[in-house]
Amino acid sequence: MNYLDYYSNNMKAVNNTKITEQQTPPKYSVQPKKENDEQDKSKKLKLALAGLAAAGIATIAVVYNIKKGKSVKLSDIKFEKGIASLKKSKSKYTGKIKDTLKNGDKIILNYENGILKSSSRSGQKNFHKIYKLPNGEKIVNILENGEDKLVNITKITNEAKVSNDKLKKLLSDNSNLSPTEFLKQTSEIKYKNNNQQVEINNIVKNKEEIIRKQSEYEKVNKKLEDITFEKGIAKYNGNTYKGKVHCKLKNGDKAVLEYDINGKLIKSERTGSKNFVKEYNNHVLGTTVKITENGTEKRININALKEEALNKKQIAKELAQKAEIEERIKSELDDFSSVISKKSDEDIEAIQKEILSERNNINIKASNLYKKNYGVDAPNEYSSLNMLSIEERQKYDLLEKKIDYISREKEKRKFDYLHKIIHKTSDKPLQTKHSNTYLNSEECRAFNRYYDDETLNYKLRQIPNYMTDDIKLMDNSFNKAPALTQEATVYRAIGKNIDEASVKHIDSIKEGKILYNAGFTSTSTNCKNGQFSQFASSIVNGSQDGYIMRIKLPIGTKGVLGGYDEYLLPRNAQIKVVKINNVNGVKIADCEYILPH
């Protein structure tokens, strides 16, 4: 709004309003369109009224829509900075300007030296105004309807300016005000024009719309901490929740979960390090999830996943239960082992007999339960044992482990005793270099392939003149091996294998016999070595007929010392059986290795 419009509107308020402490805010007038000459006339009269502003005197806003017909000398007047002057002489105008308003009212403006001094109106409205400047203030004396009143234009103008500044600031900075508070503050401002009032109304309308939308948004958008879940159903303040739930993940990703009217999840979205949308379609027979990720769609059957999860959970539960049982069994076995280790052989036999009897009773019970339930005998022991309770199975497993422990304890004692018998104080330890100190890489690989090939010795024994590159490398290695500089004792276990040759070989052993081996002969430098004990166990526990050999190696013997305390003698070795002793059913043969010629 330009200054003339603003000032003219203020004057219209002055002209048409009674003066009170609460002045009615001025309003803009709306100007209808005119013909060109009429518009020109209106413009000039408006400039005439504006002259008061430039001269410091108020005027009246009445010259809009000048009625056509009567000649007006206004066309002879021009205005510069609000001062009226004649166009031809350019002198400041002194005299009257008469005109008729659109509604027929007549107006008269009196000028002196280009300054408006008075104005009058007659017709539907009748008044006379005199403009003065006492004490530097702009005062208008109004005579209307027999009443005489004074209006201080300077005061009103200043108040209007202050009001305009306040309103301008309030219109530009009101984001933190509610609609009610905003209206209250604008209503306290005296002077507002029509455009400002429209702007105020629009701001209030926008604020109310924002509040409405915010309220609607909050109804269907909640934070995760606001929602509770009962058996997968989303609830807000105890009621089933329909809408979206927003949450922020630990890694900064954002997630939005959407629930239907029943509080069931129907959609989920994630953005950030991972971006995908999941849509949940609830069916009578199951729930299908449609996942859209990186432009790719896939569908998953949730019920199938749940079933799989339940199976895993059940398996995990059973494993945990089994682990707990095994822990209890281990604890009880630890106690049992400490007791058994102190018992005599006779006591151990009695304990074993008692445990076997108890285990057999459980087996009988399980078999009877199976037959009672299915009407037939159990196809195997495992099937019948499945009829037992967890506690009974635990007891059965414990008895089995105790039996196994007793067997191992008895075997250990036999080995301990056997080791004492095998190893004599006169046995001399073998002292030689390890093969990796003098064999090259190709020769070492040949020995490794020999250890992996269980058939090589068999072929050497069965096939005359059997030869390979690996055998040649091994033969050469024995030639390179250092000869023993003192006697030593090594140990070997031999038994009846499934082939006929080994059976004949074992059966032929007797004192004074020279045993011949076309293959390589494996021996152990330590009778307590785990590998030797493993080979010897079948002979010690009686499951295989055979011999434990204690072999004396003379000075000059050449062999290859490898891992696991194994000392390998070359092929075609000859070993003489000197004496055979039977120790608790185990045959021990004292032997001597015969140096090759």
Q: Are 246 and 224 in contact (CB under 8 A)?
A: yes
Separation CA 421–CA 522 (nearest Å)? 21
- More confident site: 14 or 278: 278
Cα separation, 114 vs 83, in Å, equals 5
pLDDT in tens, 238-265: 999 999 999 999 899 999 999 999 888 8
The tens digit of pLDDT for each residue in 103-150 reads 989 888 888 888 888 889 999 989 999 888 777 788 888 888 888 888
With contact defined as beta carbons under 8 Å apart, do 580 and 418 qualify? Answer: no
Q: At 82, phi and psi to the nearest 5?
A: 80, 0
Reply yes or no on whether the pLDDT at 407 is more than 60.
Answer: yes
State the Cα torsion 419-422-426-429 to the nearest 10°. -70
Separation in Å, CA 558 to CA 221, 261, 430, 481, 553: 89, 90, 12, 6, 9
Helix (H, G, I), strand (E, B) or coil at 255: strand
Neighbours of 290 (CB within 10 A): 14
Mean pLDDT across 422-426: 84
The string of pLDDT tens digits covering residues 3-60 is: 333 333 443 333 333 333 333 333 333 333 344 554 554 555 555 444 444 334 333 3
Burial of 490 (0-12, 13-18, 19+ CB in 10 A): buried
For residue 454, what pLDDT is reported? 85
**DSSP states of 411-471:** HHHHHHHHHHHHS-TTPPPP---BGGGT--HHHHHHHHHHHH-TTHHHHHHHSTT---HHH
How many C-beta atoms surround the C-beta of residue 238 within 10 A? 8
Question: In what helix (H) or strand (E) does residue 324 lie, and over which residues does it extend?
Answer: helix 302-340
**Mean pLDDT score of the chain:** 82
Q: How is 492-543 classified by DSSP, letter by letter? A: EEEE--SSHHHHHHHHT--TTPEEEESS-EEEES-TT-HHHHHHHHHHHTTS
- Tens of pLDDT, residue by residue over 137-185, are 888 888 888 888 888 888 888 888 888 998 999 888 998 999 999 999 8
Tell me which amino acid residue 432 is: T
Question: What's the pLDDT at 589?
Answer: 94
pLDDT value for 23:
35
**Is the separation of the CB atoms in 482 and 434 below 8 Å?**
no
Measured CA to CA, the distance from residue 493 to residue 566 in angstroms comes to 12
- 435-594: CATH topology is Toxin ADP-ribosyltransferase; Chain A, domain 1 (3.90.176)
Q: How far apart are CA 60 and CA 431, in angstroms?
A: 134
The mean pLDDT value for 329-350 works out to: 86
Cβ-contact 552, 492 below 8 angstroms: no
pLDDT at 71 over 80: no
pLDDT at 530: 78
Question: What pLDDT was estimated at residue 321?
Answer: 76
Give CA separation, 327 vs 320, 322, 398, 442, in Å.
10, 8, 11, 49
Pairing of strands 546-553, 586-594: parallel
Task: Scan for tokens 């076309």, then name that residue.
Answer: 518
Which pLDDT score, from 0 to 100, does residue 531 have? 82
- Terminal Cα distance for the chain, rounded: 132
Distance between CA atoms of residues 371 and 235, nearest Å: 54
Could you give phi then psi for residue 329, rounded to 5 degrees?
Answer: -60, -45
Token representation of residue 293: 């990720």
Which of the residue ranges 154-168, 315-329, 352-366, 423-437 would you say has the lowest mean pLDDT?
Answer: 315-329
Q: What is the pLDDT, as a whole number, of residue 33?
A: 38
β 239-240/287-293 pair status: unpaired
pLDDT of residue 51: 44
Give me the residue spans of the domains in the chain. Answer: 3-160, 222-294, 333-422, 435-594
- β-strand pairing of 95-100 with 106-112: antiparallel
Residue type, 200: I
Residue 380, burial from CB neighbour count under 10 angstroms (0-12, 13-18, 19+): exposed
Distance CA 96, CA 288 (A): 92
Contacts of 149 (CB under 8 A, 6+ apart): 18, 19, 141, 142
Closest CA to 131 of 123, 141, 121, 143: 141
What's residue 282's pLDDT? 65
Beta pairing class for 546-553 and 106-112 = unpaired
pLDDT at res. 46: 52
The H or E element spanning position 142 is strand 139-144
Between CA 122 and CA 131, with CA 126 as vertex, the angle to 5 degrees is: 100
* pLDDT tens-digit map of 478-504: 999 999 999 999 999 998 875 667 778
Question: How do the residues of the chain divide into helix, strand and coil, expressed in percent and rounded to 5?
Answer: 45, 25, 30
